[in-house]
């Protein structure tokens, strides 16, 4: 395509310059870190995380409760949540929890309880659906400003040393644009293999964006480029034989993966111990409702567009009340938009561009004044825009209309 003529004289410019292309993604100053002052490990993890992510000290939120129990009572939680809400800056859009236990509040996961407040509507004592999340597969960049909810993720680990390794992997992933593969395992466990029904459609949609393989097996072994790994089993064999790239996501659809300690099923912590940066698991029997687990195409799409781990993962679960999100919230491996100007014209590229309707604005200097010179729709799956020959000027894109990702 070609832009409308930009009647701008930009002195000293020989080629057009891209100054801004909007990408989603929470920043460190939008993340609140909740620390349990009665738990020395929580205190150490919080201090390390604030330092590594340059999170403002005003975003450190102090609570106190006896550590070590798997479950917190709703009465205790309600009092803690009330204090957290009072202490949280209004600019904070999401929470990081700095402990692995408790991982549950009565019948809710602790991450969902901090996100929504305790509400039995997000629970189910039998095989029933629960209240859905308004954040599911949305294009919303500021969930607290829009929905008055703050998605939460636990920096879960069996030790402070393991938590530091997790944080370091998340930091190392930033802007890395890894050349990894998405592995979709269709297993022999019929009850837990319900997500496999959508794998072929997903492979077709994603193949041009990231290599995507459907593996008809219970085991994935000796792969050295794992970026996404989705399966359905009570135990995932040979997990340690694989190499997870920084920022990688992996989870297994099963009844009790979010029971992080002391269960007959594999704990979701095993994914992080094997090198993944994020995982998810149920803390209460969810039955095999696919909407109570991450939908692979949704988390992949949001992550590949440049959103952080906490945003992409949370947006992939329609009914998250019974599941816990664990990992390094701010991991953001796919951020970054580049441009190249030549005699043939200017191209803009990213791993995956966010769909929507954009204004193209031009100015004679980097600080403006900018004016709209074209309007451009960007559809699902777009990785590169060829803008053709355009006059030398400073250009920026502003997103006017939002479109949710396709998968």
In the chain, domain spans: 17-23+336-402, 28-178+242-327
Going by C-alpha positions, the residue among 187, 126, 140, 154 that lies closest to residue 269 is 154
* Cα–Cα distance, 145 to 309 (Å, whole number): 19
Q: Which of 9-18, 121-130, 286-295, 306-315 has the lowest mean pLDDT?
A: 9-18
* Percentage above 70 pLDDT, the chain: 95
State the residue for tokens 């825009």.
Answer: 385
Ramachandran region, residue 15 (left: φ > 0; alpha: ψ -120 to 50; beta: rest): beta
CATH code that applies to domain 17-23+336-402: 2.60.40
Does the pLDDT at position 8 exceed 80? Answer: no
- Residue 35: predicted pLDDT: 98
pTM for the model? 0.94
- Residue 264: predicted pLDDT: 86
Going by C-alpha positions, the residue among 154, 83, 84, 159 that lies closest to residue 112 is 154
- Asked if 325 contacts 97 with a C-beta cutoff of 8 angstroms, the reply is no
* Cα–Cα distance, 168 to 166 (Å, whole number): 5
- Residue 407: predicted pLDDT: 66
Percent helix, strand and coil across the chain, each to the nearest 5? 25, 25, 50
Higher pLDDT, 38 or 344: 38
What average pLDDT does the segment 202-219 reach?
A: 96
Q: Is the dihedral of CA 53, 55, 61, 62 positive or negative?
A: positive
Which token pair is 273? Answer: 């111990």
List, in order, residues 6 or more apart from 341 with CB less than 8 Å away: 15, 16, 17
Across the chain, what does the average pLDDT equal?
Answer: 93
Where does the pLDDT of residue 400 fall: very low under 50, low under 70, confident under 90, or very high at 90 and above? confident
Does the pLDDT at position 2 exceed 50? Answer: no
């Amino acid at each position: 395509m070609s832009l409308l003529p930009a009647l701008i004289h930009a002195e000293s410019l020989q080629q057009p310059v891209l100054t801004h292309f909007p990408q989603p993604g929470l920043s460190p100053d939008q993340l609140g870190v909740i620390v349990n002052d009665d738990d020395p490990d929580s205190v150490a993890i919080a201090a390390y995380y604030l330092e590594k992510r340059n999170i403002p000290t005003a975003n450190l939120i102090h609570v106190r409760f006896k550590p070590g129990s798997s479950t917190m009572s709703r009465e205790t939680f309600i009092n803690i949540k009330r204090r957290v809400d009072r202490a949280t800056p209004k600019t904070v859009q999401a929470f990081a929890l700095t402990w692995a236990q408790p991982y549950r509040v009565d019948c809710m996961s602790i991450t969902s309880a901090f996100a929504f407040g305790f509400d039995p509507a997000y629970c189910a004592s039998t095989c029933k659906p629960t209240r859905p999340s308004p954040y599911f597969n949305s294009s919303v960049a500021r969930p607290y400003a829009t929905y008055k909810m703050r998605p939460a993720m636990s920096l879960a680990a069996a030790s402070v040393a393991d938590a530091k390794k997790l944080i370091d992997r998340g930091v190392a992933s930033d802007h890395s644009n890894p050349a990894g593969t998405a592995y979709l395992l269709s297993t022999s466990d019929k009850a837990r293999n319900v997500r496999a029904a959508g794998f072929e459609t997903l492979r077709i949609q994603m193949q041009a964006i990231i290599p995507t393989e459907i593996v008809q097996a219970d085991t994935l072994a000796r792969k050295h480029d794992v970026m996404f790994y989705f399966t359905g089993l009570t135990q995932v064999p040979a997990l340690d034989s694989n190499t997870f790239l920084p920022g990688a996501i992996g989870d297994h659809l099963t009844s009790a993966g979010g029971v992080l300690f002391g269960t007959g099923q594999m704990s979701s912590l095993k994914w992080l111990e094997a090198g993944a940066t994020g995982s998810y698991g149920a803390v209460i029997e969810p039955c095999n409702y696919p909407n109570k687990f991450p939908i692979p195409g949704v988390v992949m799409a949001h992550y590949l567009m440049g959103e952080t781990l906490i945003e992409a993962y949370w947006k992939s679960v329609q009914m998250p009340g019974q599941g816990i999100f664990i990992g390094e919230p701010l991991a953001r491996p796919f951020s970054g938009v580049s441009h190249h100007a030549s005699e043939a014209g200017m191209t803009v590229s990213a791993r995956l561009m966010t769909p929507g309707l954009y204004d193209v604005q031009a100015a004679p200097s980097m600080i403006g004044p900018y004016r709209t010179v074209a309007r451009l729709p960007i559809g699902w799956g777009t990785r590169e825009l060829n803008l053709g020959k355009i006059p030398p000027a400073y250009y920026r894109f502003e997103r006017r209309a939002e479109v949710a990702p396709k998968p």
